Structure 1
Amino acid sequence: MKLKKIMKSIGILLLLLILFIFLNNSNWFQKNDQAKPKLLAHVGMAQTYPMDGITGETCTAKRIFEPEHSYIGNTIPSMEAAFEHEADIVELDVHPTTDGEFAVFHDWTLECRTDGAGVTREHTMEELKNLDIGYGYTADGGETYPFRGKGVGLMPTLKEVLTHFRNKPFLINIKSNDPEEGKKLADYLSNIPGINMEQLSAYGGNKPIQVLQEELPNLRVMSMETLKSCLKSYMGMGWTGYVPSSCKDTQVHIPENVAPWLWGFPNKFQDRMEAVNTRVVLVAGEGKWSEGFDDKGDVKRIPEGYDGYVWTNRVDVLAPLIKE
């Protein structure tokens, strides 16, 4: 009889624990039908391409869809267009140059998109300004090049972007894992007069991001290391409502296939992250190769009531579907 009582007590405790976990992470009482996702526009407005078969060596400019607009990503006109289409943040890519600038450009090398050659960061900014960054784009296997001749001088410096868009939010992508680049970027940002550091965030290699965080502690940063540390800790302890210190004052990019495994996702998870000054960005699929929510079908997969950020390559398409 005594054993039965003990087993019964254990059973009741387990049921109470399960009930606590369920109620503590349920979104039933937090649903907000008026909540709308915010839009993170990848490189502004850009030419898109099919994601199938993409590798780190793929020249995506050689496989674009038939152009539906005239913008080239990572340029000031493309960012103006993104903000006009109600982007909440624009993501951009940077490379240091040999003359102390930071060029806003995606690729590690120049051959894919431009009429130049070599490693991007092994050039001066003046040399990069002389390139045609629309040179390599083609939608028909090289029969036509619709942007050739239209991209000369369009590669901006990071300073030009940040001074052109005062008080606009940007997510800066560091393309290397060189710690020295983190120091260079910290010094560079600190010497641009009048910029609002609170509007900026950065992500990239573990080493430069660590240095950048040490140099600019008020800047929200993320690397694969900080992301994994946050998510692993949260998966272990988040059922209690506790948010680990590794999840505080940062940014988390949540792949769509990982999101359902996070305690309280979407609403309670989002509220918990907001409470510790962390930005949540939902990315499509497995989060590889800048997969985004880019069309009407993709919008249907965004959880109802989610009001964090979604990564998109087609802010012009998504904004009318979400914001109106």
Structure 2
Amino acid sequence: MMSVKKLQVIGHRGLPSLYPENTIPSFVAAAQLGVDAIEFDVHPTRDGQLVVTHDATLERCSNGHGRVRDMSLAELRELDFGSWKNSAFADTRIPTLEEAIEAILAVRSDMFLLVELKDTSEDVALQVLDYLRRRELLSQVMALSFHTRLMKLYRELEPTLPLQGFPDRYLKEPLPDAYDIINKTCIWTHEITAEEVAFFHARDIAVDVCPVDNAEALDKVLPCGMDSITTNAANVILPILKQRGLR
């Protein structure tokens, strides 16, 4: 188990406390702050492109309407993915998977990436994997999904690729052997216990907790012995950890 003094900090969708989530400004800011890894979400477009956004629909994080997968990349590029956060981010565009990764690696070439598959399609999962292979990024990527079927597919195709799953109660598709194929799991901050962390550690599965966005949340989770924290507010958490001698 990773020492608490080396507790990994993952930027959840970049730095959404200050920037529009899952956008290049958010990713660049998180990388510049010094997080250990950045997590983001991938969806397909109607014309077979891969874009980075969390929701399957457009309403929450843009001025668009409908499903991401029903629109072409060109149509998505016309939408504003920043003004919902603050007018200072007006006209921020949705990034493709390639653009998001290149922006992050331009800041830090060895940044670890957590790529979440939001779509249920195996074809989309294979498209993501093909890009990661061609870009030679498998050594600095962990794939994650609530769809265990996709994690099993990745395990068969890339036996050494790190995979993150979730406790059975969170899964879209619970399978009896779900814990046999993952290297890491993620437990919500309000639910995590030392007992559940020990359960996963006994199975050689690392544990992340999400979200940890302030000192109160950090105080709650630290005694549980997890291996990493995922935060929406790395600008808040990193200074606290440093002040406490945990970085």
* TM-score under structure 2 length normalisation: 0.79
Query: Deviation of residue 110 (structure 1)?
Result: 1.2
1:89 is matched with which residue? 37
In structure 1, what is the equivalent of residue 173 of structure 2?
none
What per-residue deviation string (whole Å, max 9, x for no partner) do you get for residues 1-23 of structure 1?
xxxxxxxxxxxxxxxxxxxxxxx
Determine which of 115, 136, 152 is the counterpart of 2:63: 115
2:131 corresponds to which of 158, 165, 188:
188
Secondary structure of residue in 1 paired with 2:43: strand
Aligned pairs for 1:1-324 (under 5 A) are: 35-47=5-17, 69=18, 71-137=19-85, 146-147=86-87, 150-164=89-103, 165=105, 166-192=109-135, 195-204=136-145, 205-224=147-166, 227-228=167-168, 246=179, 250-256=183-189, 257-262=191-196, 264=198, 269=201, 278-283=205-210, 292-304=211-223, 306=225, 308-324=227-243
- Identity among equivalent positions (%) equals 25
Q: Give the AA of the match of 1:190.
A: R
Asked whether the 8 Å contact 1:213–1:219 carries over to 2, the reply is yes
Change (3 A) 1:217 1:260: same
Q: CA–CA distance in 1 between the matches of 2:75 and 2:178? A: 44
One-letter amino acid matched to 2:140: Q
Q: Distance in 2 between matches of 1:263 and 1:131?
A: 41
CA distance in 2, matches of 1:265, 1:312: 23
Q: Aligned equivalents of 2:192 and 2:49: distance in 1?
A: 37
* C-alpha displacement of 1:304: 4.5
Q: Which has the larger radius of gyration?
A: 1
The CA deviation at 1:36 is 4.4
Letter in 2 for 1:155: I
CA distance in 1, matches of 2:231, 2:122: 29
Q: 1:217 to 1:77 in 2, by over 3 A?
A: same
SS of match in other structure, 1:301: helix
Q: Once the 2 structures are TM-superposed, how far is the Cα of residue 171 of structure 1 from its aligned partner?
A: 0.9
> Shift of residue 260 of structure 1?
2.1
> What is the CA deviation profile of residues 50-87 of structure 1, one whole-angstrom value per residue up to 9, with x for unaligned ones?
xxxxxxxxxxxxxxxxxxx3x11111221121122221
Question: Which blocks of at least 5 consecutive residues in structure 1 are unaligned?
Answer: 1-29, 48-68, 138-145, 230-243, 284-291
CA distance in 1, matches of 2:28, 2:178: 36
- The 8 Å contact of residues 44 and 119 in structure 2, kept in 1 or not, is answered as no
Partners of 1:124 and 1:247 in 2: CA distance: 37
Which TM-score applies when normalising by structure 1?
0.62
Cα distance change on mapping 1:151 and 1:214 into 2, 3 Å: farther
Distance 1:223 1:307 in 2: 15
State the shift of 1:258 in Å: 4.1
> What secondary structure sits across from 1:35 in the alignment?
helix
Separation in 2 of the partners of 1:174 and 1:305? 28
Cα distance, 1:120 vs. partner?
0.4
How many Å apart are 1:312 and its aligned residue? 1.2
The CA deviation at 1:206 is: 2.1
- Tell me, in whole angstroms, the C-alpha distance in 2 between the residues paired with 1:184 and 1:307: 32
How far apart are 1:169 and its partner, in Å? 0.9
Query: 1:38 and 1:215 mapped to 2: Cα distance?
Result: 27
Return the offset for 1:90: 0.9
Alpha-carbon distance, 1:104 to partner: 0.6
* CA–CA separation in structure 1 for the residues paired with 2:197 and 2:130: 38
Corresponding residue SS for 2:222: coil
Provide the secondary structure at the position in 1 that maps to 2:230.
strand
> Shift of the alpha carbon at 1:118?
1.8
Q: Measure, in 2, the Cα distance between the counterparts of 1:102 and 1:245.
A: 26
